[in-house]
Amino acid sequence: MWLNISRQLDDPIKKSRYGCKSCKTRRLKCDESKPTCANCMRNDISCEYLFLPSNRLASSACPAKKLPLPTTAIVTRLNTHFSRSVDVPRNPLSFYFPTSTSSVSDADKLLEFRLFQHFVDITNVSQLFSFLLIILLSLSYQYATGK
């Protein structure tokens, strides 16, 4: 008896995914042989298969494609673009605590703060959903290159 149980556990079970209509309604395992499956042939009933589009078969057979990561050429181009356009002060705190009187008005500072807060909120959402992060990166690249 133990021999039969271990034999049954070792046998791979082939799942019937695209069985005929009569096997599905009778809740029997269909061997999916065409034009007539073994159950329908044995019971002498008509064997009809449901139509399944070929693109659905192809999508279930192959895994989902991932979007390509940015190539080194794109990253290099972004780095060179931003390294030229951004002037980084020697003392990073001098941006926030200027030693001289600044000509920036309070309205401009408020606008800058609002824009920065908007940026933080939007990029925080993109961290929750990776597809949004990819979209944000591609949009920022398009904006930076002017395309």
Looking up tokens 């959402």 gives 125
The boundaries of the domain holding residue 129 are 113-147
Look at residue 3 and tell me whether its pLDDT is greater than 50: yes
The last residue of one of the domains, among 27, 52, 77, is 52
The structure's pTM equals: 0.29
Number of domains, the chain? 2
Q: What is the pLDDT of residues 123-143, one digit of tens each?
A: 776 677 777 778 878 888 888
What average pLDDT does the segment 119-126 reach? Answer: 74
| Residue 129 within a domain | yes
Q: What is the pLDDT of residues 48-99, one digit of tens each?
A: 887 654 544 444 555 555 555 555 666 666 666 555 544 545 555 665 665 6
| Residue 82 within a domain | no
Q: What is the CATH number of the domain that holds 42?
A: 4.10.240.10
Q: Read off the DSSP letter of residue 20.
A: B
| Residue 67 within a domain | no
* Nearest one of 141, 137, 117 to 126, comparing CA atoms: 137
What pLDDT score does 86 carry? 47
| Residue 47 within a domain | yes
| Residue 125 within a domain | yes
| Residue 9 within a domain | no
| Residue 73 within a domain | no
| Residue 139 within a domain | yes
Q: What is the DSSP string of 32-83?
A: --SSS-HHHHHHT----BPP--HHHHHHHHSPPPPPPPPPHHHHHHHHHHHH
